[in-house]
C-alpha cells in the first residue's frame, strides 16, 4: 500500500492527500452513526487527476469511497473499518466552468458547494432551485449521487430533473464526457441517469450541466394551521388550482415538530397564539412583484379559511418574516437531534395516501411501542415524509434507539403496503443496503447487480453501499 500512496501522492501533490490521524476526521458520517478508517483521503484538483487516481486503484483493486460535503444521512460516504479504502474527496474541484444564460445552463464541478451554485446562478440573473437544509456544506456531486430532493421539488423536480449532462470518471479510470446541455437527445440509453442516485457505486461524478430558470422577483411564504393531515391534502389541491405553477413549496409539520423548534431555538416565534395539530408552510414565487405574489397567496388562503380548510394563517410581510417562517420548518430535524437520538425514516408514498399512511402507521407504532412520539414532517407536495420516531417520555433515548430494527420493520412494511419507497431523497448507503432487499423484487435487484458488474467489474467503487 505504501507504493500505491507514493504513486497517488505523485499525482495529486502534497496538498492533495491526507494520511494517518489527519485522514480520520473524514471517516465518520454526519450523524456520527458510522465510524470507518481510511487508508488516505485523496483530494484531486481536476478530472485528469481523478482519472489517474482511479486507474491506480483499479490496478491494485483498492476500494474508492467518493465523498462530497459528507452531509449524507445513510453512511454512503463513509469507508469501512479495514483501513484499506481511500476516500476520494472532490472538495478541491469547485470551479464554475460555464454559464449559458440563453441556454439556461450552468456547468459546475462536483465539489461546488450547493450555496455557491445557487449564488453563481443568481449572479447571472437566473435561479438554480435545488434547496435543502445542508446547502451551506453539501456539494453538488453528493446531491447528484443521492438524487437530492429538497424543498422545491413540487415546482422544479428533484436533482435528476435538474441535470442535463454529466462528466464521470468510470471505474476503469476512463473519462465519460457527457456534458451536453441538451433538453432533447434521443440517441439511445440516457447514461447520466445511471450515475444520478448511484451514490458513487458506479463511477465518480466530476462535473455536471445543470438547468437554470428565470429568477423570481418575489418569494412569499405563509403558515396555515390545520386540524389534520387529510385536510392538508385538500389544501394542497386547493392551492394548486388557484396558484398554479407559482406554488413552489408545500411543507407539512406537526405540532410536536413546532414544539421542539420553539424549545431548542428560543429565538423562534410561534406563528399563532394557539397550538394546532398540523401546520403547512406554503411558498409562492412570482415573476411579477412581491405585491402580486402576496395578493395571490392571501387570496387563496382567504378562500381556504372561508371554506373551512384551514383554522388560521399568517403570511410573511418582509424578508425577515420569510426567513423566520422557513426556519420553523428547516430547524425541525436539528431540534429533534438536540432533544436526543431518534429513529429517522425518509419515505415516500403516493400523495393521495399520505394522510392515511400517517394515521395507519401511527396506530401500528403506538400498539407496538406505547408512548412513542412521532416527529412527522416533510415535503407533502411530492409525497416525501420524514417520519421520525422519538422515545416515550422518560425512556432513555439510547435504549429506544437499540430497537431501531423493530421500529423500521413497522414503518417500512407500512410503506410497502402503501406502494411507497423506503428512501425518498437520502439514498440507501450502508443504512438501508440490506433493508431494500426486503422490498425490491428479485428481478429488480438482479438488474441493479448486472449494471454494477458491467460498470464496476472489480467492485472497487464504494463497495458495501447500495448493494
Q: What is the mean pLDDT of each run of 10 residues along the chain (467 residues)?
A: 91 94 89 91 98 97 96 93 96 97 98 98 97 93 95 93 98 97 95 97 98 95 97 97 94 96 94 96 91 93 95 94 94 90 93 96 94 92 92 86 93 97 94 94 97 98 96
User: CA-to-CA distance for 236 and 242, rounded, in angstroms?
Assistant: 10
> If you ran DSSP here, which 8-state letter would residue 402 be given?
T
Which strand ranges, in their side-by-side order, compose the sheet holding 373-379?
A: 312-315, 218-226, 278-286, 247-254, 373-379, 384-390, 346-348
Complete domains list, the chain, with CATH: 2-89 (3.30.43.10), 96-214 (3.30.465.10), 218-333 (3.30.70.2190), 340-438 (3.30.70.2740)
The SS3 of residue 219 is strand
Q: What angle do CA 459, 460, 465 make, to 5 degrees?
A: 80
Contact status, residue 235 vs residue 354, Cβ threshold 8 Å: no
Name the one residue in this structure whose C-alpha cell is 397564539. 273
HSE-CB for 140 with a 13 A CA cutoff: 34
Q: How many CB atoms lie within 10 A of CB 274?
A: 8
Name the one residue in this structure whose C-alpha cell is 463511477. 203
Q: How many CB atoms lie within 10 A of CB 234?
A: 17
Residue 1: per-residue pLDDT? 66
Residue 23: per-residue pLDDT? 87
**CA 276 to each of CA 179, 255, 258, 380: distance values in angstroms, whole numbers, following the listed order:** 49, 6, 10, 18
Kindly tell me the number of DSSP H helices and DSSP E strands found in the chain.
16, 18
pTM for the structure as a whole:
0.92
Which strand ranges, in their side-by-side order, compose the sheet holding 96-100?
A: 96-100, 105-109, 203-211, 163-170, 175-178
User: What are the phi and psi torsion angles at 161 (to 5°)?
Assistant: -75, -15
Counting beta carbons within 10 angstroms of the beta carbon of residue 440, is it exposed (0 to 12), middle (13 to 18) or buried (19 or more)? Answer: middle
Instruction: List Cβ neighbours of 244 (8 Å cut-off, separation of 6 or more).
Output: none
Q: Residue 141: left (phi > 0), alpha (psi -120 to 50), or beta? A: alpha
The grid coordinates of residue 174 equal 476512463
User: CA-to-CA distance for 456 and 450, rounded, in angstroms?
Assistant: 10
The grid coordinates of residue 431 equal 443504512
Contact status, residue 297 vs residue 315, Cβ threshold 8 Å: yes
Dihedral of CA 102/108/112/113: which sign? positive
Angle between helices 319-330 and 255-264 (to 10 degrees): 110
User: CA-to-CA distance for 289 and 274, rounded, in angstroms?
Assistant: 32
Closest CA to 433 of 463, 410, 411, 457: 463
Residue 133: per-residue pLDDT? 86
The grid coordinates of residue 264 equal 431548542
End-to-end CA distance of the chain: 26
**How far does Cα 144 stand from its chain's mean position?**
9
Q: How many CB atoms lie within 10 A of CB 458?
A: 16
Annotate 319-355 with b (16+ C-beta within 10 A) or e (fewer). eebbebbbebbbbbbebbeebebbbbbbbbbebebbb
User: CA-to-CA distance for 433 and 326, rounded, in angstroms?
Assistant: 32
Amino acid at each position: 500500500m505504501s507504493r500505491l500512496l507514493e504513486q497517488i501522492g505523485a499525482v495529486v501533490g502534497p496538498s492533495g492527500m491526507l494520511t494517518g490521524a489527519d485522514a480520520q476526521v473524514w471517516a465518520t458520517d454526519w450523524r456520527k452513526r458510522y465510524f470507518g478508517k481510511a487508508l488516505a483521503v485523496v483530494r484531486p484538483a481536476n478530472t485528469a487527476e481523478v482519472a489517474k487516481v482511479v486507474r491506480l486503484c483499479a490496478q491494485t483493486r483498492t476500494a474508492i469511497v467518493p465523498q462530497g460535503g459528507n452531509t449524507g444521512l445513510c453512511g454512503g460516504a463513509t469507508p469501512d473499518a479495514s483501513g484499506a479504502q481511500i476516500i476520494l474527496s472532490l472538495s478541491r474541484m469547485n470551479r464554475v466552468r460555464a454559464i449559458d444564460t440563453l441556454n439556461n445552463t450552468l456547468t459546475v464541478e462536483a465539489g461546488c458547494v450547493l450555496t455557491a451554485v445557487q449564488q453563481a446562478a443568481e449572479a447571472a440573473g437566473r435561479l438554480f432551485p435545488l434547496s435543502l437544509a445542508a446547502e451551506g456544506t453539501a456539494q453538488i456531486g453528493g446531491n447528484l449521487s443521492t438524487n437530492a430532493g429538497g424543498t422545491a421539488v413540487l415546482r422544479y423536480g428533484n436533482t435528476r430533473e435538474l441535470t442535463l449532462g454529466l462528466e464521470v470518471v468510470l471505474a476503469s479510470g476512463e473519462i465519460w464526457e457527457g456534458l451536453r446541455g441538451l433538453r432533447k437527445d434521443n440517441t439511445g440509453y440516457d447514461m447520466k441517469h445511471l450515475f444520478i442516485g448511484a451514490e458513487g457505486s458506479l463511477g465518480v461524478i466530476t462535473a455536471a450541466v445543470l438547468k437554470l430558470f428565470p429568477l423570481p422577483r418575489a418569494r412569499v411564504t405563509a403558515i396555515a394551521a390545520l386540524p389534520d393531515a387529510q385536510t392538508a391534502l385538500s389544501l394542497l389541491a386547493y392551492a394548486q388550482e388557484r396558484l398554479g405553477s407559482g406554488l413552489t413549496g408545500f411543507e407539512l409539520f406537526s405540532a410536536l415538530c413546532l414544539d421542539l423548534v420553539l424549545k431548542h431555538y428560543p429565538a423562534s416565534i410561534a406563528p399563532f397564539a394557539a397550538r394546532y395539530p398540523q401546520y403547512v408552510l406554503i411558498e409562492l414565487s412570482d415573476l411579477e412583484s412581491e405585491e402580486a405574489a402576496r395578493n395571490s397567496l392571501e387570496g387563496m388562503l382567504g378562500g381556504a379559511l372561508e371554506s373551512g380548510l384551514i383554522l388560521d394563517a399568517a403570511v410573511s410581510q418582509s424578508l425577515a418574516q420569510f426567513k423566520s417562517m422557513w426556519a420553523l420548518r428547516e430547524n425541525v430535524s436539528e431540534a429533534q437531534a438536540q432533544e436526543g437520538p431518534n429513529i429517522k425514516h425518509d419515505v415516500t408514498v403516493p400523495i393521495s395516501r399520505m394522510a392515511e399512511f400517517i394515521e395507519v402507521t401511527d396506530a401500528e407504532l403506538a400498539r407496538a411501542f406505547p408512548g412513542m412520539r412521532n416527529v412527522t414532517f416533510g415535503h407533502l407536495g411530492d409525497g416525501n415524509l420524514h417520519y421520525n420516531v422519538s422515545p416515550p417520555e422518560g425512556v432513555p433515548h439510547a435504549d429506544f434507539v437499540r430497537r431501531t430494527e423493530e421500529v423500521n420493520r413497522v414503518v417500512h412494511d407500512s410503506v410497502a403496503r402503501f406502494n411507497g419507497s423506503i428512501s425518498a431523497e437520502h439514498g440507501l448507503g450502508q443504512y438501508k443496503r440490506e433493508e431494500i432487499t426486503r422490498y425490491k423484487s428479485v428481478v429488480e435487484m438482479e438488474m441493479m447487480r448486472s449494471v454494477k458488474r458491467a460498470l464496476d467489474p472489480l467492485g472497487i467503487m464504494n463497495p458495501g453501499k447500495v448493494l
